[in-house]
Amino acid sequence: MLILGEFRHTIDQANRLTVPAKYRDDIGADAVLYRAPEGCLFLYSNAEFEKIADSVRSGKSGARSRARIRNFFSDTVGATVDRTGRFIIPPDYLTAANLKNDVVLLGCANHFEIWDAEVYGKLMEEKETASDDDYPDIVF
């Protein structure tokens, strides 16, 4: 699965958002939402999230590890995708990501990032000032 592209969607009055049709089979019926520290949400298929969860759990043991695990998993929630590709975003997740009605879903290889459209627009303004030096390990 390789999730690519930018998709503009609207959150409806029931707090539902639609997975882009092209990727519905990849995301599946059981998905996971994560409150990302960047101020957006990440949407993973359950299978992809399991890989990340395994890496989070595989760290060293101890208080710091338990705190990392606690913080990571407490910022996640299951999301059931219905047959039309819609899933509900819980109200506290909408607030955490400052999501209003218009959103942008960005394909980020193994997941979607979900951004408020206005916030994303500001990020794109910053992107225009980026240079190749900002991506030293990528061959274009």
pTM across the whole model: 0.90
Which 3 state secondary structure label does DSSP give 10? Answer: strand
Q: Which domain holds residue 86?
A: 6-130
| Phi and psi angles of residue 102, each rounded to the nearest 5 degrees, phi first | -90, 125
Closest CA to 104 of 90, 122, 127: 122
Q: How many domains does the chain have?
A: 1
φ and ψ of 39, to 5 deg: 95, 25
Instruction: Specify the pLDDT at position 60.
Output: 75
Q: What is the pLDDT of residue 80?
A: 98
- Looking up residue 103, the CATH number of its domain turns out to be 3.40.1550.20
Q: Which residues of the chain have pLDDT under 70?
A: 128-140
pLDDT at 120: 96
1 located within any domain? no
Is residue 140 assigned to a domain? no
Q: Note whether residue 45 is domain-resident.
A: yes
